C-alpha cells in the first residue's frame, strides 16, 4: 500500500510540473489546497465511522491527499520562494524559507502521535483540514502570481505592496557598482546594510 501511495505522489508531481507554467501558480495552489481539505475530511470521516468502509475511505483519502499535495503545495513550496525573493537577498531568504519548511516538518513529525493520543485520529485530520483552510486564506490574500514575471518585476511588485522602495534602491546601487570599472563586488556590504 505504501508503494502504491508513493507511486501516486510521484505521478502527480509530474502532472503538477506540467501545469505550473501553463495555468499559473495561484490556481494550482488553490486546487491543491481544496483537494487536500476534501481528502483530509474523507480521512477524518473514515475514522469516525466504524464499519467495513472505514479502512477503504481512509486509504482513499490518503491517496487523494498525496495526489493533490503533489500537484501544488509539494513542489510549489520550493518554487515560489525562489521566484519572489530579490537576487540581492535570495540566498539568505531561501535559507530562512528552507529552515522554516524543515522546522514545521520536524514539529509535525515529532508531535503527530502525541496529538493523536490527545484528541484522536478523526479530530487530528479535521484539525489538519482547518490548517489547510487557513493556509488557503493566507495564500489567497498574499501570494502574488509569479507566472511570466521577471525577478525585477517581483522586486517592483513587493516595493509597491509594502510601500518600501529600499530593495529597489539597493538593487540599483548593486548594478551601478558592478558596472564601475575595477569596482569591488558590493553585494555583501549592501546586503548587510539592508538587513
CATH fold of 2-147 reads Growth Hormone; Chain: A; (1.20.1250)
**pLDDT tens per residue across span 150-189:** 776 777 777 777 777 777 777 777 777 777 766 555 555 4
**3-state SS of the chain: helix, strand, coil percent to 5?**
85, 0, 15
CB 63 within 8 A of CB 55: no
Residue located via cell numbers 490556481:
27
What average pLDDT does the structure give for the chain?
84
Residue 129 in contact with residue 121, Cβ under 8 Å?
no
Instruction: Give me the phi and psi of 184, to 5 degrees please.
Output: -70, 160
Task: Give the Å distances, CA to CA, from 15 to 22, 28, 30, 42, 70.
Answer: 11, 11, 15, 23, 8
State the burial class of residue 136 (Cβ atoms within 10 Å of its Cβ: 0-12, 13-18, 19+): middle
Asked if 73 contacts 26 with a C-beta cutoff of 8 angstroms, the reply is no
Q: With cut-offs at 50, 70 and 90, classify the pLDDT of residue 191.
A: very low
Is residue 187 within 8 A of residue 88, CB to CB? The reply is: yes
Sign of CA dihedral 108, 84, 15, 72: positive
> Any idea where the domains of the chain sit in the sequence?
2-147
13 CB-near residues (< 8 Å, 6+ apart): 70, 71, 74, 75
pLDDT in tens, 70-114: 999 988 888 888 888 877 778 888 999 999 999 999 999 999 999
Amino acid at each position: 500500500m505504501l508503494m502504491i501511495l508513493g507511486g501516486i505522489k510521484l505521478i502527480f508531481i509530474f502532472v503538477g510540473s506540467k501545469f505550473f507554467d501553463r495555468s499559473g501558480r495561484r490556481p494550482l495552489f488553490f486546487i491543491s489546497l481544496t483537494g487536500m481539505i476534501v481528502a483530509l475530511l474523507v480521512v477524518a470521516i473514515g475514522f469516525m465511522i466504524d464499519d467495513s468502509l472505514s479502512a477503504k475511505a481512509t486509504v482513499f483519502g490518503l491517496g487523494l491527499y498525496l495526489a493533490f499535495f503533489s500537484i501544488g503545495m509539494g513542489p510549489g513550496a520550493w518554487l515560489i520562494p525562489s521566484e519572489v525573493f530579490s537576487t540581492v537577498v535570495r540566498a539568505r531568504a531561501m535559507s530562512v524559507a528552507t529552515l522554516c519548511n524543515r522546522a514545521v516538518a520536524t514539529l509535525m513529525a515529532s508531535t503527530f502521535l502525541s496529538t493523536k493520543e490527545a484528541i484522536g485520529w478523526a479530530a487530528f485530520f479535521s484539525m489538519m483540514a482547518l490548517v489547510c483552510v487557513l493556509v488557503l486564506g493566507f495564500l489567497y490574500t498574499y501570494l502574488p502570481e509569479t507566472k511570466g514575471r521577471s525577478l525585477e518585476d517581483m522586486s517592483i511588485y513587493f516595493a509597491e505592496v509594502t510601500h518600501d522602495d529600499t530593495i529597489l534602491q539597493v538593487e540599483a546601487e548593486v548594478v551601478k557598482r558592478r558596472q564601475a570599472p575595477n569596482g569591488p563586488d558590493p553585494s555583501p556590504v549592501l546586503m548587510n546594510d539592508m538587513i
